[in-house]
Amino acid sequence: MTETAAAACEALLSHARETAALEQVAGRLGWDQETMMPRGAAHQRGEEMAAMEGVLHARRTDPRLGDWLDAADPQDAAGKAQLAKIRRGYERAQKVPAALAQEIARVTSVSQGIWAEARSRDDVAAFLPTLAEVVRLKREEGAALAAGGDLYDALLDDYEPGMTGAGIEGMFAALRPRLVSLREKILGSSRVVAPLEGLFTAETQLRLSRRLAAVFGYDFERGRMDLAVHPFCSGSGQDVRITTRVTESDPFNCFYSVIHETGHAAYEQGVDPDYLLTPIGGGVSMGVHESQSRICENQLGRSRAFTAWLHGQMRESFGEFGIAEAEHFYATVNRVAPGYIRTEADEVHYNLHIMLRFDLERALMRGDLAVGDLEAAWNDRFAADFGVKVDRPSNGVLQDVHWSIGLFGYFPTYSLGNLYAGCLHQALRRDLPDLDQDLQAGDLNRANDWLRDGLRRHGGLYAPAETIERACGFAPSAEPLLSYLENKYGGIYGF
């Protein structure tokens, strides 16, 4: 590599590290807003977020980047991947006017608080004007990025590079018929699985949740756990934070939210430290990210072997709580019911929740659905898909934070993550055939090592699908997930 090329590479990475550091600062502002910020600070925080976005947008579109990109010629795989990500970010950022980027940051920051308040009061009308403004701004951004192409695809590409709406449709076409058939078999079964009942103190739930996070590989020396309206994971590298929420009548909500967010956090904490604050120093896509949260939450965390261990932990923490047998507890943890809330949905219904959101948000972005008609469209679709009428907005259109903060195109990555998790689980079981012995002891060390060595440490080195294929040894498909679900629930419900 010539001296000029080497200097260009060094300048690019130096610039990228400073930009990544500032992005982490902006992320910390977002974390604070959802966990600790006083409610009266919302409008000021919106101005702060807009100011940060202005600085970041200027760095992402710095004209020097073009010159450095032309001159740089890295020789190793990591350097080439970093260069490709910088180029992609530079080209995308150039398409979005700075004023628009700042306005989106300001409005979505304020919108999050308005959504939370509206959700707490079940007041859709209080949120719709703000949502209409978010939708307008995101459509404008999508149009700028698409440059004449599909607006929704342009937004989806932010979360899953290379994926399209048509690709998502194909995934759902593969999943939906067998999921619906499986649901019908379960709901038609004579075997009844009762829900968990009782009260479980918040303090004890949180204490056990911290243990669960540690079991699934969360490093509390580089993170912390707090409470939020909507559980999430924030940060990367040496500062990765998770949140959960507590309902004393439903400890599974807390426990499995923590395991889910720990999967995200363990991915970020597991990236090769040499990549810290570089373009490949975090998860490669949200679909791959969701594969880490979903395999932890479901294939591992809801397995018969692990729930046997968790059953013992529940009895130790709460005393006799009404379920004496581990096998009964396993069925209760995996009970199938058409509930309202996506984050509490069983594995059979979960992707149906995502299909609903995908279709609605795609229609919003394409202009085929007006914001004022969104609640009715949601309620009609939910009744058709789940056979239940939405009883209140917080169980319907107001339940998710994503649209309030402008994350249009994000929802499909949850289902993509489920598909990827199915593939990873099949490969993990192939390589660790005696894994259940570990899980029964609450020992996730070998599973965590397998995920870190095969996937997490690579960060953004490879493309999303290639990341999964390298970890599994085969190309991703829906079959492993569907087979896993059919075998698991056929056993629980006796068919």
The helices-and-strands tally (H runs, E runs) of the chain is 20, 3
Q: Please list the active-site residues.
A: 261
CB 444 within 8 A of CB 215: yes
User: How far separated are the first and last CA of the chain, in Å rounded?
Assistant: 63
CATH number at residue 427: 1.10.1370.30
- Structural domain contains residue 64: yes
From CA 147, how far away is CA 145, in angstroms rounded? 6
Last residue of a domain, one of 149, 182, 211: 149
The percent of residues in the chain predicted with pLDDT above 70, rounded, is: 100
Report pLDDT digits (tens) over 17-58. Answer: 999 999 999 999 999 999 999 989 999 999 999 999 999 999
The dihedral of CA 401, 127, 248, 488: what is its sign? negative
In this structure, the answer to whether residues 129 and 269 fall within a common structural domain is no
Residue-wise pLDDT for 132-147, tens only, equals 999 999 999 999 999 9
Q: Is residue 441 part of a domain?
A: yes
Please report where in the chains the tokens 């569907």 appear, as a residue.
Answer: 482
* Domain termination residue (choose one: 90, 116, 149): 149
Over the Cα atoms of the chain, what is R_g?
A: 22
239-244 and 225-227 as β-strands: parallel, antiparallel, unpaired? Answer: parallel
Which 8-state DSSP code applies to residue 226? E
For 14-123, strand residue ranges (E) read none
- Domain assignment present for residue 156? The answer is no
- The phi, psi pair for 463, rounded to 5°, reads -70, 160
pLDDT tens for each residue of 407-418: 999 999 999 999
Q: What whole-number distance in Å separates Cα of residue 55 and Cα of residue 78?
A: 27
If asked whether residues 424 and 470 sit together in one domain, one would say yes
Q: Decide: 322 and 198 in contact? Cβ < 8 Å.
A: yes
Domain match, 324 and 282 both: yes
d(C-alpha 205, C-alpha 19), whole Å = 38
Task: For 87-135, write each residue's pLDDT tens digit.
Answer: 999 999 999 999 999 999 999 999 999 999 999 999 999 999 999 999 9
Residues 79 and 225 in one domain: no
- The reply to whether 216 falls in a domain is yes
* pLDDT over 90 at 3, yes or no: no
Examine the pLDDT at 11 and tell me if it is beyond 80: yes
In a shared domain, residues 100 and 143: yes
Q: In what order do the strands lie in the sheet with 225-227?
A: 225-227, 239-244, 233-236
Shared domain check, 183 and 60: no
Residue range 61-84, pLDDT digits in tens: 999 999 999 999 999 999 999 999
**pLDDT grade for 1, boundaries at 50, 70 and 90:** confident
Average pLDDT, the chain: 97
Is residue 117 within 8 A of residue 400, CB to CB? The reply is: no
Same domain as 118, residue 170: no
Regarding whether 289 and 185 lie in a shared domain, the answer is yes
Spatial neighbors of 258 by CB under 8 A, at least 6 apart, are 209, 212, 213, 225, 231, 242, 244
Phi, psi of 239 (to 5 degrees): -145, 90
pLDDT digit string, tens, across residues 458-479: 999 999 999 999 999 999 999 9
Above 80 in pLDDT, residue 160? yes
Stated pTM of the model: 0.95
Q: Is residue 460 assigned to a domain?
A: yes
pLDDT band (50, 70, 90) for residue 343: confident
Tell me how many domains the chain contains: 2
Establish if 361 belongs to a structural domain: yes
Q: What is the span of the domain harbouring residue 379? A: 165-493
Measure Cα distances from 482 to 86, 115, 286, 411, 490 in Å.
37, 35, 21, 20, 12
Mean pLDDT within 274-287: 97
Tell whether 354 and 247 lie within a shared domain. Answer: yes
Token digits for 111?
């919108």
One domain, residues 333 and 408? yes
Within-domain flag for 131: yes
Residue 363 belongs to some domain of the structure:
yes
Do 171 and 134 sit in the same domain of this protein?
no
Domain boundary among 121, 149, 177: 149
Contacts 24+ apart (CB under 8 A), 238-247: 238/276, 239/24, 239/28, 240/265, 240/268, 240/269, 241/31, 241/265, 242/213, 242/218, 243/34, 243/35, 244/206, 244/209, 246/202, 246/205, 246/206
Please tell me whether residues 173 and 216 are part of one structural domain. Answer: yes
